[in-house]
Structure 1
Amino acid sequence: MSDWLRTILYQIVFYTGSVPIVVGVAFVAPFGQRAVIRHAHLWAKLNRWAARNILGITTRIEGVVPEGQFLIVSKHQAMFETTELQLIFGGPAMVLKRELTRIPMWGWATRLYGSMSVDREASAKALRQLMAEGAALRAQGRSVIVYPEGTRVLPGETPPLRSGFAGLYKAVGLPVVPVAVDSGRVMPKRGAKRPGVVTVKLGAIIPPGLPRREAEQRVWEAINALELTPPVKGDAMV
């Protein structure tokens, strides 16, 4: 089967299967956030299944997934990691661009799941709101995941972190787990998807309370680790 045929079949299966899962949130919402999180992970598992069985894409984890409450900061090359990392890290709250939270039904579901919306223009008001929501999630015991480049980037691109990362890092006061991914190699934003292995490389934990420039530099280097050095074979496969 050609890459284009696999891509079309994947899209049919994933997006058709997504509809009842999103609608189903209304039925599980009365049972609380834990029920919503479990239900939402059906969507992530659907994407993992379709990627593996239709596209021939699997995930390799380099490093050990830590236990505890963290600020998870990830490279962003494809939609793939936005669901895959939810499964790997057990359902952290999400930082989303504001326009995503306005999608009918889906936006409501993300709020029930646990999310913060951020204005990519990074106005002072938006940053204050982000910090307040981040602090509230920490008080709830939730880990938080953010994609600090602000949007998907092409393989090889290493843009600076958006300014909102520094505010969130300060607000939540949590140790940081930096994550490098290379999903864009096999799941490009445009064009056919290709069989292969997506590497998820977990960097060394970065402590809270560092000066802004040091924290940003350490995170930037860690999430771009796969851009600077080739991935190694081995470690966990999921």
Structure 2
Amino acid sequence: MQHDTPSLSIKVRSALFFVLYNLAGILYSFLCVLIGPFLPLKPRHRFINGWTRCAMWLDRHLNRVEVKLEGAEHLPNTPCLVLPNHQSSWETFYLQTVICPQTTVVKKELLWVPFFGWGLALLNPIRIDRSKGNAALKSLLKQGKERLNQGLPVVIFPEGTRQQPGTIGKFNHGGTMLACQAGVPVIAISHNSGDCWPKGSWVRYPGTITIRISPPITTEGKKAQQVTTEVQEWIRDHYPGELSE
């Protein structure tokens, strides 16, 4: 989707959102640092996600971004691997309101970012150093199994980096390898968040983000590459818009 030059109204709303969203994050992070360490893991997730819910409320009322959620009934009550396509930071926020608690994979240096990183560290994410190749994969598998054994769903973006709207990137096999080794199902998620939150831009465009959740994809008796193919095909087939080849 190609965006027209944003109107003055969109720019003003986006700027106001940016200010309020970051201000709320700074203030809320202090509460998280003060209170979060004393809460059990699952209540801690719900408490810290108060900022996420605030961000989504601001997005809806200031940026006029509506959300259409399809397939939420497919989310299991047992540990699973969640593999969404990746277009912006929007899905990293919104999915925390749909799947809570959850654990995500983060670059370990993000945990040192003031305010944001402090709160993120309290969610006990899977910490990896992407520059270390095979060591990073081993760390993902080890920590991922630990989180699944704790009863936490694991959310991984298999494309690794954000893609342009209407584009599905190449998927890596780390997430499906974890799912196959742990014997848990995979949930695929397809969405068009980049239409409203384009990567590399502070402008937020009004519109509707559709997010579609697949039925559980079994990993029993399958290899990671096979599951990756199934996930990628489901995301492509259910993408809410036109895909460029």
Asked if TM exceeds 0.5, the reply is yes
Unaligned runs of 5+ in 1: 232-238
Structure 1 letter corresponding to 2:84: S
Provide the aligned C-alpha RMSD in A: 2.1
Distance 2:45 2:55 in 1: 16
> Counterparts of 1:202-221 in structure 2 under 5 Å?
202-209=213-220, 210-221=222-233
Structure 2 letter corresponding to 1:44: T
Describe the SS at the equivalent of 1:58.
strand
Matching residue within 43, 46, 62 for 2:70: 62
Q: Does 1:26 align with 2:33?
A: yes
Distance 2:49 2:67 in 1: 17
Unaligned runs of 5+ in 2: 1-7
Q: Which moved more, 1:28-37 or 1:12-21?
A: 28-37
Q: Does 1:224 align with 2:236?
A: yes
Q: Which moved more, 1:181-190 or 1:202-211?
A: 202-211
Q: What is the TM-score of this pair, normalised by structure 2?
A: 0.86
CA contact (8 A) 2:66 2:207 kept: yes
Find the counterpart in structure 2 of residue 4 from structure 1.
Answer: 11
CA contact (8 A) 2:85 2:168 kept: no
Deviations 1:128-165 (A, max 9, x none): 11111111111111111111111111112221112422
Q: What is the TM-score of this pair, normalised by structure 1?
A: 0.88
Distance 1:212 1:149 in 2: 15
Q: Which moved more, 1:76-85 or 1:106-115?
A: 106-115
CA contact (8 A) 1:94 1:144 kept: yes
Find the counterpart in structure 2 of residue 164 from structure 1.
Answer: 174
> Counterparts of 1:1-238 in structure 2 under 5 Å?
2-28=9-35, 29-65=37-73, 66-68=75-77, 69-121=79-131, 123-191=133-201, 192-209=203-220, 210-227=222-239
Question: After TM superposition, what 4+ stretches of structure 1 lie above 4 angstroms from structure 2?
Answer: 226-231
CA contact (8 A) 1:55 1:195 kept: yes
Distance 1:113 1:126 in 2: 20
Structure 1 letter corresponding to 2:48: A
Change (3 A) 1:171 1:27: farther
Describe the SS at the equivalent of 2:72.
coil
